[in-house]
Structure 1
């Protein structure tokens, strides 16, 4: 049955609300109640076993009641159930399906080779004792040339945030986007003033650094994703809202989750090894860490 035809048929049995009552109250409370009934049906299925025919029929009946209240509630809010369903599929695709390889856009494809992120590169993280104060710093090099400044944890806690440039390299590998990596590797798109300022400039760099610190705080509360493969949707929405005005905004929430997990898989290895050699591959969207 067509879902909009179902909605039209369902609302014919919808009763008018009592005077002075919000029309959405009854279907909303009814939906809550039917979800409880569905949970009870599932409880009976667990108790009696999935082979019980009456149990399956009960679940079918309760799902039907849930669907009726969803149709009624959509009607009360002036929504078409088909539109609700279509929008939900878009949302779910954004959250759980990464951008297909064929649809990926290379943000710097039209720029000179010297201004493109390298499709493949080898970089090295090493730990050194800083002269003067003896603090341990992480030094990132590319082909023997230092990238940026030596980094400490910049914290009262020894948490190895000194390796956090690996997160920016993961953004480059998986998303094809990283203003910080462009700065570190000398790949800012200076041939186009607008792009250099808006996409590769100080504000974009600050946003990416902010994302790195924000995710690290979240990761610290989740064992640095060692046994966690998914991130709260609301948290990722915060990241996508921070980058809504940047070129990376065309990518999906699932792409961000993949980039974050790729970065933390590499970071944990660097932390264990006290550094390492990184093989960056934008074509394969991978970071490989060696001792």
Structure 2
């Protein structure tokens, strides 16, 4: 067997899985998006752009998704980075495993149960009641964009922590010592050494969380109370309730295109930033 044949043999299972689990479903959604809704719902074959012309009807869902998903990603990154830095750089090795386990403990419980817990915390008997006890009245937290933002940051925070932690844990500590020996202050060392070398982990964590948030529907449904809904909620309504599969496919395919464009631009910016720092370090 030649090397080329051996390479094809190794790639074929992954390629087959990619085609069956990704390409074919996307192809079906693309075809359905040009169809029409049947009299009893579902899909009727056709070739029309009517479904794409109706996309403004779901503008609110796209707006909420495109605002809260990036905000949730940024907020999760800002919280996860100090935590990952503390675990990777400043924590005694004998405590790292225990603390990492504590980070993933929330994943041992269903996101449904954790979201209901936040309904109680943000509801009238939770934080608003505590605020009333200290004289702050009329605060409404549940069923607001803020509640959804809290829920998505809490739900996806561990997925942001681990890529950043891995990137920081692999950091050569001798670089930090060399920077200190050369007279750099701790903050300067962080900006010039630690942060640039951890960018791949930050990029991976942000991309992972952002992609998942773009398709989120459970947290907005529970903590948004039908007032703050994502595209995922619109898709659930279109496919399962109104049974408008053609319009739902158009919405889904548009969301996929937005995600592909956003992720492509993001990865190009990260690659350009990384290559630019490499050029500066070489000079």
When normalised by structure 2's length, the TM-score is: 0.23
When normalised by structure 1's length, the TM-score is: 0.23
Hey, which of these two has a bigger chunk of strand by percent? 1
Hey, which of these two has a bigger chunk of helix by percent? 2
Higher relative contact order by CA 8 Å / sep ≥ 6: 1 or 2?
A: 2
